[in-house]
């Protein structure tokens, strides 16, 4: 298959740009426990995970009525097949976007009118190369990069090729993943504890550099040996726990 044009430096689609202009976070709503809090939270964009195929017809319309932009992680929705039928189904519920690690689903989502977010796990240089190829071919609206600290090890060229992006997992301080806020982490809480019910990620736009790597670290995946660390990014938006971050939890 011929690769699709790279999304390098691509702007956010208007719906997401507008939502992030109001509140630059996205809530990761995992299961029903944090759902009630998120319904009244100021954050406008969410990712639903761990909702069964039977729960989605109630949850998605309720969030849409509340003015939220809803992504469904089809890889983590019990009962949903990972095929075109699953995308047709979530689209029929009013879902705005799909999250998946699977290139085939990202490619199928756009013709259906769904926003697409490709999730990639960057663990080493060879994995980074495969991820860059998948992103180039799928041309998603957003790339979810895990774990967040790896962004500080990526070259500026790799960051541009995966932009606009969402940093996820181990987002513990403003310096990691572009400046997330609040305690806890998307993949694991600080100190290796369990993650909270709603994870947290940080989104970044365009070709801004990542936070500098920790002192004593190795070279950047995908190239980039010595030289000064890249400048810190200008955060565009982020993903936060709906119940743990003061920016997106409901007012008291």
Partnered with residue 166 across adjacent β-strands are 144, 203
Walk along the chain (252 residues) and give the pLDDT tens digit of each residue: 222 333 445 688 999 999 888 887 778 899 888 898 899 899 899 999 999 999 999 999 999 999 999 999 999 999 999 899 999 999 999 999 999 999 999 999 999 999 999 999 999 888 899 999 999 999 999 999 999 899 989 999 999 999 998 888 887 654 544 433 222 233 322 222 222 333 445 445 443 333 322 333 334 344 444 444 444 333 333 444 333 343 444 433
Alpha-carbon gap, residue 138 to 160, rounded angstroms: 15
Tokens at residue 80, please?
């949903």
Q: Check if the beta carbon of residue 131 is closer than 8 Å to that of residue 161.
A: no
CATH of domain 14-210+234-239: 3.20.20.70
Q: Give residue limits of the domains in the chain.
A: 14-210+234-239
Task: Enter the pTM of the model.
Answer: 0.70
- 196-to-29, 32, 65, 182 alpha-carbon distances in Å: 10, 13, 26, 11
CA–CA distance, 173 with 66 (Å, rounded to integer) = 30
Nearest-CA neighbor of 165 among 189, 181, 183, 147? 147
pLDDT confidence of residue 9: 56
- Residue that the structure tokens 């500098």 belong to: 212
């Amino acid at each position: 298959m011929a690769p699709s044009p790279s999304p390098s430096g691509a702007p956010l689609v208007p719906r997401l740009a507008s939502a992030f202009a109001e509140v630059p976070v996205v809530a990761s709503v995992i299961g029903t426990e944090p759902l009630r809090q998120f319904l009244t939270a100021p954050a406008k964009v969410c990712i639903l995970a761990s909702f069964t195929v039977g729960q989605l017809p109630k949850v998605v319309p309720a969030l849409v009525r509340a003015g939220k932009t809803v992504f469904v992680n089809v890889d983590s929705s019990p009962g949903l097949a990972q095929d075109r039928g699953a995308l047709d189904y979530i689209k029929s519920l009013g879902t705005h976007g799909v999250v998946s690690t699977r290139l085939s689903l990202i490619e199928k989502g756009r013709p259906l009118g769904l926003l697409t977010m490709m999730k990639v796990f960057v663990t080493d240089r060879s994995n980074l190369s495969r991820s860059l190829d998948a992103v180039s071919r799928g041309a998603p609206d957003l790339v979810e990069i895990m774990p967040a600290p790896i962004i500080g090890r990526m070259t500026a060229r790799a960051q541009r090729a995966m932009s606009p992006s969402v940093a996820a997992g181990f987002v513990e301080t403003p310096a990691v993943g572009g400046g997330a806020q609040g305690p806890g982490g998307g993949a694991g809480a600080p100190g290796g504890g369990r993650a909270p019910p709603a994870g947290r990620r940080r989104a970044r736009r365009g070709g801004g550099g990542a936070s500098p790597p920790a002192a004593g670290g190795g070279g950047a995946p995908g190239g980039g040996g010595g030289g000064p660390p890249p400048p810190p990014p200008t955060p565009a938006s982020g993903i936060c726990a709906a119940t743990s971050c003061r920016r997106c939890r409901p007012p008291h």
